[in-house]
């Protein structure tokens, strides 16, 4: 037993996790510690493991100067004040991906139920029926499976699909073709190309993944099936219903919904769809895996290590870092991650007021901002490089901390993603969504990718004027005359969904990216 180390477990963890802790630390565990008792208990412990019932707030951390580790037995950490923990040198841990196998298996549970009419046939037999001809099914063997997102869950889906004899294709712009192949799929370079192939489509991305609306779903072969066991809202449920009514889509299976629980009686009454209540990761084995992983991570953290489950990096000398450096870097990365780019290399140039010893941390902050838009689970300056390597992402950082005469000349001809951090002036982005810019960091940003033809810029401006949204800055770039153009607009306020939809409907506009740095979120259309 580590001398004097005490660990508090506030909710059910599972015997496997508790067994790891016993004998190594002084353990106090509860099936559910009453929330009102936590403030009195927390100051006596070096580490606490929570699930979703408790919140670790700034006020609670002020009461517990002994506390060194806060661990969340699960993927999220919204119930932990991350900034307050970092400022106080408290390491925050969580366990993303511990339920990947469970989510992948649930995908096929739903798929087989849908294709073999299990739910309605069960109801038919219970009602005394025996009409075998009414429930002729569809086999998986030989079918083409399209996977959007080939991360932890996506790769398990690909593995299982191969066992059924399926042809597996995957779209994931951040994963190299050889890595996708190693995960049992063939990489498809664009989303439309994947949709055109997919007799069965499944999505396994974070909430920032592609949004599948009517336009996207219409690109599927007639009679396709659609699954969402990832995040609610990634698939437009209204569009699914309409296309099923039109017989363009044969059926759908949903474990997650845009609003949970779903209330639409028309949706819930359909026999060509199968639903479950966000059960993707809910298995005994997944719960045990989460328990053992979080317990092991806590023990390693108390031993002085920074485990891969770390969500933050406590800086004992945080006051010596330039103010706002990590936040600026992460915001730059979020923009790059949301809008994509032409190549796999992220160049970060740290100039003007960034100390040499702080430059690698700043670069990691940019990388974390990029990856949090394309990976599931938390990414931060501690684990950004590890998460990129683990996911097989070919994103490398070219770091330049010394002043250079011309950053644009330095990267002339490069097809890489490019971000620059500078603190003497406003932070800037020099390459975005295929365009070259000298773009200051706005609070609200819209990037269009459109055909270089007369009238497009004017029509875009007219729509913003009609919506009452002021354009503060506008920068425009194109590859060749009449080719593809990219426009970046800094706005005084966030555009609404109706405005974004109207922009996408303009003649010549191919894609719209909207990034709201005020809330650290974005979306692409």
Hey, which residues are catalytic here?
A: 231, 260, 278
Tokens of 224: 């396709």
Long-range contacts of 70-75 (CB under 8 A, 24+ apart): 71/47, 71/294, 71/297, 71/298, 71/301, 71/309, 72/294, 72/311, 73/11, 73/13, 73/17, 73/49, 73/290, 73/291, 73/294, 74/290, 75/99, 75/376, 75/377, 75/378
For Cα atoms 509, 513, 517, give the angle at the middle one, nearest 5 degrees: 150
Cα dihedral: 279, 281, 283, 284 (round 10): -140
Q: Is residue 226 within 8 Å of 201, Cβ to Cβ?
A: yes
392 in helix, strand or coil? coil
Cis amide prior to 209 (ω within 30 degrees): no
Q: Is residue 18 within 8 Å of 295, Cβ to Cβ?
A: yes
Other residues' Cβ atoms within 10 Å of the Cβ of residue 403 = 10
Detail the DSSP E strand segments found in 46-121: 47-50, 69-72, 91-93
b/e 381-401 (16+ beta carbons within 10 angstroms → b): bbbbbebbeebbbbbebeebb
């Amino acid at each position: 037993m580590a001398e004097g180390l005490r660990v508090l477990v506030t909710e059910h963890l599972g015997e496997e996790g508790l067994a790891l802790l016993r004998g190594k630390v002084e353990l106090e565990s509860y099936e559910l510690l009453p929330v009102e008792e936590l403030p009195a208990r927390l100051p006596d412990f070096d580490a606490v493991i929570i699930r979703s019932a408790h919140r670790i707030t700034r006020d609670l951390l002020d009461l517990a100067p002994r506390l060194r580790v806060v661990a969340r037995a699960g993927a999220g950490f919204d119930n932990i004040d991350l900034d307050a923990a970092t400022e106080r040198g408290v390491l925050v841990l969580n366990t993303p991906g511990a339920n990947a196998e469970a989510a992948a298996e649930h995908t096929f549970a739903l798929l087989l139920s849908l294709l073999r009419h299990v739910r309605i046939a069960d109801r038919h037999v219970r009602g005394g029926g025996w009409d075998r001809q009414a429930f002729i099914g569809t086999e998986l063997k030989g079918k083409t499976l399209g996977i959007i997102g080939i991360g932890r869950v996506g790769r398990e889906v690909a593995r299982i699909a191969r066992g059924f004899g399926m042809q597996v294709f995957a779209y994931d712009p951040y994963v190299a073709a050889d890595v996708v192949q190693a995960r049992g799929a063939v990489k498809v370079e664009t989303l439309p190309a994947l949709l055109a192939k997919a007799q069965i489509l499944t999505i396994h991305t974070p909430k920032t993944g592609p949004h599948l609306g009517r336009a996207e779903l219409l690109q599927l072969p007639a009679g396709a099936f659609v699954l969402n066991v990832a995040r609610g809202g990634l698939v437009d449920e209204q569009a699914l219903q309409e296309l099923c009514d039109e017989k363009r889509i044969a059926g759908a299976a949903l474990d997650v919904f845009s609003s949970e629980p779903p209330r639409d009686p028309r949706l819930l009454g359909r026999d060509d769809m199968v639903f479950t209540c966000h059960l993707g990761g809910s298995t005994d084995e997944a719960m045990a895996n989460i328990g053992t992983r979080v317990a092991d991570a806590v023990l390693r953290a108390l031993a002085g290590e920074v485990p891969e489950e770390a969500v933050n990096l406590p800086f004992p000398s945080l006051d010596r870092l330039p103010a706002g450096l990590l936040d600026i870097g992460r915001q730059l990365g979020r923009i790059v991650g949301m809008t994509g780019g032409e190549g796999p290399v992220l160049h970060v140039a740290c100039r003007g007021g960034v100390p040499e010893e702080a430059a690698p941390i700043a670069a990691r902050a940019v990388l974390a901002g990029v990856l949090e838009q394309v990976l599931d689970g938390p990414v931060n300056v501690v684990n950004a490089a590890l998460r990129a390597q683990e996911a097989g992402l070919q994103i490398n950082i070219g770091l330049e901390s010394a002043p250079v005469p011309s950053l644009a000349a330095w990267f002339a001809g490069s097809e890489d993603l490019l971000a620059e951090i500078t603190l003497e002036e406003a932070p800037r982005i020099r390459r975005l969504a295929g365009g070259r810019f000298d773009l200051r960091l706005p609070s609200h940003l819209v990037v269009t990718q459109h055909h270089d033809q007369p009238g497009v810029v004017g029509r875009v401006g007219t729509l913003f004027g009609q919506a009452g949204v002021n354009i503060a800055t506008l920068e425009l770039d194109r590859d060749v005359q009449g080719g593809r153009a990219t426009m970046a607009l800094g706005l005084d306020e966030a555009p609404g969904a109706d405005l974004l939809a109207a922009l996408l409907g303009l003649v010549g506009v191919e894609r719209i990216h909207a990034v709201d740095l005020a809330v650290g979120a974005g979306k692409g259309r």
